[in-house]
Every structure is written in structure tokens, then in C-alpha cells.
Chain A
Amino acid sequence: MPVLDLKRKLSILADAAKYDASCASSGTSKRDSRGGKGVGSTEGMGICHAYAPDGRCISLLKILLTNYCIYDCAYCVNRVSSNVKRARFSVDEVVNLTLDFYKRNYIEGLFLSSGIIRDADYTMEAMVRVARDLRQVHDFRGYIHLKLIPEASQDLADEAGRWADRLSINVELPRDESLKALAPEKDAGVIKRAMGGVRLGIDAAGEKGRRAKPTAFAPAGQSTQMIVGADAASDGEILARSESLYGAYRLRRVYYSAFSPIPDAPGRLPPMRPPLMREHRLYQADWLMRFYGFAREEIVGPAENLELGMDPKLAWALKHRGDFPVDVNVAERETLLRTPGLGVKSVDKMIALRRLKRLALHDVGKLCRRIESVRPFIVASDWSPGGLTDSAGLARSLTPAPQQLELF
């Protein structure tokens, strides 16, 4: 087999890693390189060092250690039966590439994942070694995100938590049954148990009242990813799944990744990709559940899908027009958060401002993004929507006009 040069390996193993949506580098403990030997700092807020033309941020060096894999997951470009080019980094190559990129201010740190070679422990051990070398040999204080292999031993998972800022384990598919069909070697139970183990580690590190300071364990928490549109699960099912994951494992984030066609696809998969908008709507609904006080049942029923043509909050408001308009000068924070077009920041600013003066429509206009979409749902000191809230054409006026398909 010809020996691949480093650049070729990088292109293969970055290409193989791009189907992981997460690139976050935020929310970890604060630290910097002063008083140390190496480089690196994390100051709470993540930094996106570049953006690719797919609109995704590039914050971390996101690569696989290897894309050789003994598993045969239909949705994955690296499955054993796929004909893609294969490559494998050595531990030192990953360590040096991370440091070289970091010193040039290209990245915030490393996101390392891997295909499974030989067995889960063998692979996980190599990934942990990368993180350990970065931290111990090079005193690297930047961000590290490690993907855990669910089948790997608890000891390795625990050590990974010592070096990494974030750990993640992908649940992959919203339905356990489809995981069985599309990823025969994976086991939903094993995945859940591994996530449970991570939560126990994080809980133990955060325990109060201990005399000795507990060793840090994944200070940026754990996250997971679900592929949307590779099986028949409805949006309602997907969100119910997320809700139960957030509750059981205290996840920081559930990432939704619209299934995207992969090179060398097997026949078990849907031939078409789902609209990217579906992924976007799922994120919006996820946010409504976590930050806006909506219960899942209010947003979408178990077998229903979210509307693609409008955001879930607007869809909810149009179904509950009786609750509107709300008076921005007196309404509770919870009520304002449920008003279409008003975000958490706008609402908090309005509440601060209305202690000093009565809000007029132009005040609201300056504090929100588009007053046109808010206007029908609010009352201000100089504004009342009259019949607008209940007008039949409201939905149409607030959503983009449908486009006629191009004729050949």
C-alpha cells in the first residue's frame, strides 16, 4: 500500500469527520497559558475562526484518528463495506497538527473522533493518548472534545473525561429500531449506558461539600447528535427523544443533522435528502422547549411534523390567537416570550426599559428584529392591532410568498 503523505491523510480524515455537526468550543472552565509551558486559553465564549461555504463555523480541528472501521452503519461514509479511501493518523501527527494550527490562531482546539479499528478499547485508548499527550507533554490549555466509543471500557471513558472539555456519544437515530436496522453492530442500550456513565462522572466532579477539590471531568458537559431524515421518525418523535435525553443525561446540546447524501451510499437509505429547513425547525423547537417555557406537546404532537413554512412559535401563535394581542407594557415575561418575533434578549430589554417609560411601537421596533412580524400580536402605548390578529390572511402575510416552480 502506498504511504500517504500528511496532507492527503488530512484531507481524507477531515472529509470523513464533517458529518458531525458540533463544533462548539464554549462553556468550559476559564484558563490560559500564563504560568505554564505551552499555549492555549478558554474564556467562556467560543470563537469561530472561519466559516465554510456551508455556513458552518470552523472552531476546532475536527478530524478522525482513522476512518478504517469494523462497523457497517448504513448512514456512515466510513462503514466497513464502503469503498472510500482510507487513512490513519499516528497519535503524534494529530498532536503536532493541533499545536501547529493552534499557534497560528486557526483553531480553538481539537475535536477527535474515530472509526473503530481492532476493537473499541484499542481505538479509544489511542484517542485518549492524543488528549493526554496534549495536556501532559505539551501543557496544552485549549479546548478538547473527544467522541466516546460507547462500547469502550468505563476506565477509558473516565480518563477521557479528565483530559477533555467535552465528551459526546451519538445516539445516531431517533428510533432505537432503526438503529438496529441501519447500524447492526450498534446497540441503543450500550449507547445510553455510556451516556449515563458520563453523567455520573460529571455529577461526581461537581459535587459540593467535598474537602478535596474533585478532579475536573468534562467541564463543558456532554452532547449528542441525531441524524434526521434517515429513518421515518416524525418531528414529534425526535423531540420526545431529545426531551428524554436532556432529562436523563443533562446534555448541554442535542445536535440535529439533516441526513445528507454521502458518497458511495448503500441501498438501505432514502435516496433524497430531507429539506435543510427541517433541521432548522427542529433547532427552533428545541430552543422553545429549553429557553421559552414551551412544553413539547404544545409545539408538536407525537406523530406530527413541524411546519416547514413558518417557525414553530408563529405556528403555535396562529393556533392560539385568542391569547393575543399581549400588552408589551404589562405582560409577564413568560407571555412576552411566547410572542412571535420576540427573542429572550428583546424581551429582557423591553422589561428593563418599561420600568422607565411606556413602550411605544417604535421602541419595540428598535428592540426586535422585524417589527412587521411582531405588530399583529402586541399592544403598545400608541398601537393596537385591531382586527389584524384575527384576520384570515395573517399567516400568508407573515411567511414568504410561495415560489412558482421553474418551467423547463
Chain B
Amino acid sequence: MTEFGHTPITDTPETPRDKDTILYLNNVTVSFDGFRALNALSLVVATKELRCIIGPNGAGKTTMMDVITGKTRPDEGEVIFGHHTDLTKMDEAEIANLGIGRKFQKPTVFENLSVFENLELAIKGWRSVKNCLFFKLDKATQTRIHEVMETIALSSHASRLAGELSHGQKQWLEIGMLLIQAPQLMLVDEPVAGMTDSETEQTAALLKQISQDHTVVVVEHDMEFVRELGGFVTVLHEGSALAEGSLETVQSNEKVIEVYLGR
């Protein structure tokens, strides 16, 4: 359990920016043709935290990820990484190189490359064209890739094309690609969508293990899975944070019940 499990619930998080904050969203608004996908959203994530974001469809979960990773520019508001890095002025590649990794909702791996090559491309460093042209695989890198393949249980599939993997294995490979990037902050969008129960369980264990050394933000629909992860939960609704707290407290919140069960 994280220390956040004991903090009182607040409707809008007004947590001060202390030195442990890794991600700070303040008053972020994004609209598409008048529709407010994010509406004055504020969110604070602490270092090494495992945060779950839940919310009905259209609550703005994916847009929030897009804003953090630089795919979408907010109309208003601040997005601060670490102490004072303003993410709203950077593009995807810059943000990724700062140490923010992202896993997509639909598993996105490089289908025509092998599992090994997928991880090799994700490993930290060698990002410029010149470096890539003269890149040579060294022992340490190789060892690291094998370690990660071990973690995501794909060691025996190293030379298989990623496109041949099962759906669940692709999801793990993508998590592995995140992991090998060694990001400080991992954004994981619906990691268990379409997984079998046992795969879901394994994924929960994997994410819990990862969150020991990384800050992980998970967007998820599956309540069972969120319970299994056991992190601090933020409920999004119509583009802003409706409630925060442990899953139990959030689930007993009247506003949340109203949103989820209909008004």
C-alpha cells in the first residue's frame, strides 16, 4: 500500500507540489470542436506511486495520456514533469527521452520485427540517425534485453516475429518495451483489455513488480484488476477528477456511484 492510501479524500486534489511529485497537472483543458475532452483537470502523481485512473467511456482518460506524452496540446493549464519541466512545450520524442514511457490501449508492437528486435529498439539510448547507422549490439545491452524477456515471460520467443504472438503476449512485449526504456514514469493504457483471467493475474503481478522501481499510471476499466493492483485511484468523469482515494472509498462515494450506475 502506498502512503496515499491513508490520505483523506478530496473532490479536487489540491495536494501541494512537494519534492516527491513526479507529475503535476493543473487546470488542464482540452477541447475538440467545442467538446471538452478535459475540463480543468488537476492531478498529482508522486514518485514510485502506482496510480489507477478509472472512469466511464469518454471521461478523458486517453486524452489525458495524449496531453502528458505530447500528442495533444492543451488549450489551457500546466503539465509539469518532475520539478519544473513544462511538458506542454515539447513534442513526443523529447518527452519520451525525458523518461516518460507510454503503452497504448491497442497493443502496438513492431509486427515485422522479432521480440528481441522490438526490445532492442526500445532500449534507452541510440536515438539519432547517426547513432543508429553505426550501432553495434554490445554484451551489456544483450544481457539487459534477455533480462527483460525473462521478466515478461517471452524468453523462449526471442526470435519470433512480434506479429505472431498472442494478444496477451503482445501486451507483455509492449510492457517490456516500456520497461527497457527505463522511464521514470510509465503510462499504461488498459493493459488487460482482451486478456484471459490468468493473463490478467500475471499482468497485475508484473505491474506491481515494476511499480517498485517506477512510477506507474494505469488507465483501466476492469475493476477486479484495479483491486488487484491495490493502488491509489482517481476517478475521471467528463474531463475532470471526480474523486480520489483507495478503491473501496471511491466505490462508496455517492457521486461515483451515480456516474457509474446512471443518474
**A and B from one complex:** no
